[in-house]
């Protein structure tokens, strides 16, 4: 074997091994989370607390982002429709875009950045300061208390935030449309939701549950496996955001493909 080939193998092989080990560890972490989900105690109070932290404290950012998205998307779409004399289609176009894709995806990406980094840093700091070990000594299951409760909270709250983002986006879009075309609220809603189907609504709701679970499980995994002190906490928070966003985008592509396939059957 040549020197170059040997050097390439020595560089690539460890990378493949570490990737395989990481995938196996992640699968085991996911399996343990699902198993612990159905065992007592359920820590309902902690779940409610995390729902408050994730949901209520994210409202200002979601409100601003959803409102601006609705206005900007309307402004960007109007010139194209005006060229064909089809500005009356604006409510329908905006509603379809927000319900099918924009609201769920924007909400998930915001939560991946804000919530994911917070969970990763929080659990990571508990790991490096040995608070998790102290919980074990106190006869508390730290995995159940920290990981399962936060994963449940993200899974429940991301759909709620996505719905709220969609409503706020429609408010912003309506104000822009009303200011330019003097369309009434009833006319805007009738034109917007006339083309929305049952499949549109439930596919969007379903994907937000998937996004929420993804954010929670990735952030908890990174935090729970933190090492190397405070530097490791920073890496865990950063990895939580990057990996969650990457996973959400991949899931979006796959879900859209599945929904398109279902539409092809006329369902």
pLDDT tens, position by position, 9-38:
554 555 576 778 878 888 999 999 999 988
pLDDT band (50, 70, 90) for residue 67:
very high
Average pLDDT estimate for 153-158: 96
- Give 195 or 17, the one with higher predicted confidence: 195
Q: What is the pLDDT of residue 44?
A: 92
Q: DSSP characters for 224-249?
A: HT--SHHHHHHHHHHHHHHHHHHHHH
Residue whose tokens read 């996911």? 30
Predicted local distance difference test score (pLDDT) of residue 11 = 43
pLDDT single digits (tens) 228-244: 777 889 899 999 999 99
The residue among 133, 265, 113, 146 whose CA lies nearest residue 199 is 265
Separation CA 12–CA 165 (nearest Å): 44
pTM exceeds 0.85 for this model: yes
Q: Tell me the average pLDDT across 159-179.
A: 94
């Amino acid at each position: 074997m040549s020197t170059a080939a040997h050097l390439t193998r020595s560089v690539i092989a460890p990378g493949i091994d570490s990737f395989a080990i990481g995938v196996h560890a992640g699968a085991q972490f996911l399996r343990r989370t699902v198993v612990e989900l159905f065992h007592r105690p359920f820590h309902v109070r902690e779940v409610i607390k995390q729902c408050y932290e994730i949901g209520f404290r994210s409202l200002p950012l979601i409100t601003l982002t959803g409102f601006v998205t609705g206005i900007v998307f309307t402004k960007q779409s109007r010139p194209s429709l005006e060229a064909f004399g089809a500005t009356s289609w604006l409510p329908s176009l905006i509603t379809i875009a927000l319900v099918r894709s924009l609201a769920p995806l924007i909400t998930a990406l915001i939560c991946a950045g804000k919530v994911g980094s917070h969970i990763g840093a929080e659990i990571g700091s508990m790991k490096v300061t040995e608070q998790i070990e102290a919980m074990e000594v106190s006869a508390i299951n730290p995995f159940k208390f920290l990981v399962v409760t936060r994963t449940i909270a993200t899974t429940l709250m991301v759909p709620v935030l996505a719905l709220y983002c969609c409503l706020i986006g429609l408010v912003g879009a309506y104000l822009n449309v009303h200011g330019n075309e003097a369309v009434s609220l009833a006319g805007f809603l009738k034109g917007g939701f006339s083309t929305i189907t049952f499949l549109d609504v439930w596919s969007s709701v379903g994907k937000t549950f998937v996004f929420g679970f993804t954010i929670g499980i990735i952030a908890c995994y990174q935090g729970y496996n933190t090492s190397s002190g405070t530097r490791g906490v920073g890496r865990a928070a950063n990895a939580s955001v990057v990996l969650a966003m990457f996973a959400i985008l991949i899931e979006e592509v796959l879900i859209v493909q599945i929904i398109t396939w279902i539409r092809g059957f006329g369902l």
